[in-house]
Chain A
């Protein structure tokens, strides 16, 4: 059973398009995250939701909008895609105590987004 799954695994699209990435976790966790990993492997937290409430919102362009329909799902919608958005996007989840973020996070396999 896949703990944290993401779809699609690969996404190739043109500049200016709008795209979505979906994430689902079956671990029963209450906190989910979106990370961006660039070509140099740098991992940057983008968003975090705890029980469907946004608790981390790093400096990310407004073109990125997360949506959490329930505790097990966190989707990422990107408007007006730019070349610089090309990266691998990872979803992760964890079980938190209140809004305390634990250091143990479970990552999905990633979605490689290529903007041409």
Chain B
């Protein structure tokens, strides 16, 4: 019930392509859904977040799509660049008490 299932585990995309990472959850009590980006040797950093009453949020080349009825949300990276190569984590906030993290997706963007 408290899990956030993230897929794929790894992803290889060509430069200029679209990267798509998916997450699914069961607990309807989750109240925020952030995505974090982690570069090698660094800590995770907040990338973008969405509330469950919003279906889409866009910031630059990064878009979260949220499907409340399907209990799924996804991160789309448009025009993917080699500099986007990193590990991406979806997460869910539970009652504003803690974050439940997905297992991460390692993205490699080939030049």
Contact = CB atoms under 8 A, between A and B. Distances in A.
Contact of A101 (B38, B43, B89, B98): B98
Among A4, A44, A99, A102, which residue has the most Cβ atoms of chain B within 10 A?
Answer: A102
A100 B98 CA distance: 8
Contacts of A90: 43-44
Interface string B68-101: 0000000000000000000101010100111101
A43 B98 CA distance: 13
Main secondary structure, interface of B, reads strand
Contact of B93 (A4, A42, A44, A101): A101
B106 A105 contact: no
Nearest to B32: A103
Contact of B97 (A40, A101, A107, A110): A101
Contacts of A56: 97-98
Contacts of B89: 43
Contacts of B97: 56, 99-101
B12 interface: no
Contacts, number: 60
Contacts of B98: 45, 48, 56, 101
Interface residues of A, number: 24
A27 to B, nearest CB: 13
A109 B42 contact: yes
A32 interface: no
B43 A103 contact: no
Contact of B91 (A40, A100, A103, A106): A103
Contacts of A106: 45-46
Interface of A: 4, 40-45, 48, 56, 90, 92, 97, 99-110
6 tightest Cβ-Cβ pairs between the two chains A and B: A107-B43, A100-B96, A103-B32, A103-B34, A103-B93, A41-B104
